[in-house]
């Protein structure tokens, strides 16, 4: 389970950071980077700091530079845990889980996103 160290040293979020752009994808604001003509896609799922974290967007841009079309969705609907206003366990309870012709897709999750990635992959395998 997530502990207080998970929220140590929060980043300064930047909604305009990165080489990509934000668009609606599946009803969520999503940071998109890479060529939409790519047949390879990667889904990056943020930690508790959300999709505007500068290091996450830099990583997404690096994956895009390797030839992937990358999507980083805002699963928190604009409510990342960066201000310490609520206890982490309370915040986690409020943030449960919610094709463009790609031939391969991958997913990466960080901290909170790791749990969601595992859940999503397990659920997908049951379909």
3-state helix, strand, coil in the chain (%, to 5): 30, 20, 50
Tell me if 68 sits within 8 A of 96, measured CB to CB. Answer: no
**Does some domain include residue 67?**
yes
For the chain, report the end-to-end CA distance as a whole number of angstroms: 27
Range of the domain at 57: 13-76+95-118
Query: Longest C-alpha distance within the chain, in Å?
Result: 42
pLDDT at 7: 73
**Does some domain include residue 103?**
yes
Per the structure, the count of domains in the chain is: 1
**Does some domain include residue 8?**
no
Per-residue pLDDT tens digits for 29-59:
999 999 999 999 888 988 888 999 999 999 9
pTM value is 0.76
Burial class (CB in 10 A: 0-12, 13-18, 19+), 9: exposed
Handedness of CA 67, 24, 7, 111 (dihedral sign): negative
**Does some domain include residue 123?**
no
Q: How confident is the model at residue 114 (pLDDT cuts 50, 70, 90)?
A: confident
**Does some domain include residue 2?**
no
Tell me if 73 sits within 8 A of 45, measured CB to CB. Answer: yes
**Does some domain include residue 47?**
yes
**Does some domain include residue 66?**
yes
């Amino acid at each position: 389970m997530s502990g207080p160290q998970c929220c140590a040293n929060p980043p300064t979020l930047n909604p305009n950071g990165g080489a990509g752009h934000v668009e609606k994808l599946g009803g969520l604001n999503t940071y998109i980077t890479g060529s939409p003509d790519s047949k390879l896609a990667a889904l990056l799922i943020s930690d508790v700091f959300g999709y505007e974290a500068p290091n996450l967007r830099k990583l997404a841009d690096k994956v895009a530079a390797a030839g992937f079309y990358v999507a980083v969705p805002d699963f928190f609907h604009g409510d990342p845990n960066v201000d310490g206003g609520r206890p982490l366990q309370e915040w986690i309870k409020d943030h449960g889980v919610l094709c463009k012709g790609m031939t391969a897709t991958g997913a990466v999750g960080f901290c909170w996103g790791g749990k969601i990635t595992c859940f999503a992959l397990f659920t997908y395998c049951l379909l």
